[in-house]
Structure 1
Amino acid sequence: MGEVLEIALRCLVVLAAFLVLPLLIGQIEHKTMAHMQSRVGPMYAGGFHGWAQLIADGVKFVQKEDVTPRAADRTVFALAPAVALVPYLVVLFVIPLGPSMVGADLDLGLFFALAVMSIGVLGSLMGGWASANKYSLIGGLRVASQLMSYELPMVLSAVSVAMMAGTLSLVGIAEAWQWSWLLWQLPALVVFVTAGLAELQRPPFDMPIADAELVLGPYTEYGGMRFAMFLLAEYAGILVLAALTTTLFLGGWRGPSSEELGWLWALTKTMVVAFFVVWFRVAWPRMREDQLNALAWKALVPVALGQLALTTVVVLA
């Protein structure tokens, strides 16, 4: 009975984090972009510093009409937002905030997280295919292209860290982390974050939803709460990417007073990485489709393979 209560409590904590932290990242994006691009609108809703902007957006989505195109595949069209959103909830169960603050410490936690993250991308592909819209279809095909191009360097960079730690458990990787890894694994860190941004279709890798070309790509025909679910999935993906980066490359909960405040250090590092994800959107222009795929195969894959070879030498030495 005690084990069941403990599992239920962990599930509630993860669910609460899933509901709160992505919304917090959305608020951070609103405010960061407002300051960096002098957008005055998000600074007024609710009075002080526009604190109610996110609430206003939520009310707007609830009021919007949810329309399904006549020629659409209704079942796939309806399931796509959930397929895009739910995998990130599952991944949060294996990402630790501390040695004992984790939903499930799996022996293959790293590969589990990477595999489930890739499922979330299929939601965008399903939405593009089922919408019966040529712009949505082109966006969905671009999603598939990015997934195939950037999954390999992302996995290779993560494997490099797992080799240094000697385990695939995310808790074990965080416990084995050392400050010297910041030097040895810096190329892997850059590759991992870059590939993660591409899988999330975040700028400058947002060619599947390039509004000047494809209206809104796979999401063109979506409205109301279904479109809001795609947005929430994007923010949840940022949370998962930032949390995995923190666990693999930044020591997770490691820091001053890590025994008492380890969860606070993990959350702080995660939010700092999330801020840089938002900053990339503001600072970098969108890439062309050919440039996007060339970056993966001509730059990131060779760097990831070189990092893997270097890690092999370091581990053997």
Structure 2
Amino acid sequence: MNLPKKRRTIIDVAQEAGVSKATVARVMNGGGDVSVKEDTRKRVLAAAKKVGYVPNRIAASMRSQRTYSVAISIPDISNPFYPAMVRGAQDALTPKGYNLLMFNNDWDAKTESSHIDAMRKHMVDGILLSPAQSDLDLAALSPTPVVILGRGLDYPEFPSVGNDSVGGIKLALNRFWELGHRRIGLITGGSHRATASSRQEAYYQFHEEKGIAVAEALIAWTEFGVRTADSIGFAREAATALLMRSDRPSAILASNDVLALAVLQVARANDIRVPEELSVIGMDDIFSASVSAPALTTVAKQRYENGRVAADKLLTLMQGKSLEEQKNTLLACRLIERETTCPCRY
């Protein structure tokens, strides 16, 4: 008869490593205790592996009132913008002993609200939130620390880390201007976020600064608040509306790369040569932008850094410290010029 093996404890680990139970506890609690020397930490971990010790996280959580779990909420898991951001957060949190729990809401308000309730009930230690809605009631999460992924305009009371999308729009528009383009189309989205309208405002401001009138017919709206697979279809419709005009633009700025790739598809289907007859710039620098044919010129956002810096802020808050003057961080964008832009030829 095979009897179940006895569950190993920190006493077994301490005996194997030749250290005290307290030292084992400091190493195994996942908190990165700096009072334990590195060689001692390695010896304890090796001993734990040898004797087959597995920490009881439930018991540890009850003692410490910490779960070593952080939630990250995103609106669209299929959007290629988010993986690098999640990876940046994970790379910052894992060395500190935290597990990252991901929630995807598909831009659905009801789902997002239920996820927030689940985060509260499961007592996560902190939350990284990329809001799908602009009017979420986050008061119920207090006192759990929250950092907003994005510019945080809709939630100014919370610290945030985002990319300077408005600055990125200006980079792209100014590059078009340098190339001689004057009829510049814009494809943007009807997102619930404040950043959607801010991109259009940047477009208007650019025209005002250059002293040229805005041609409203060259602005095409498409829905942001849907899954990526659906947004491509909407983007094709918007691109078709612009490119089938007799006075079509010589250049199009798309407010993300998925929209820009849809523009390339429509142009190819209608024998419009890119960049000879149409210049295109996207935004985000997702992987597909670099391998499209032609390779897409785009405004690169610091997606990985966005996640990493936000997680660092959250770690600071979870330690009970203040962010002081670093509450809100806006990361600079940069233009990556590839094969979809050239001087205007008409």
Q: Which category describes the TM-score, using the shorter chain as reference length?
A: under 0.3
Structure with the higher strand share, 1 or 2: 2
TM-score by length of 1: 0.28
TM-score by length of 2: 0.26
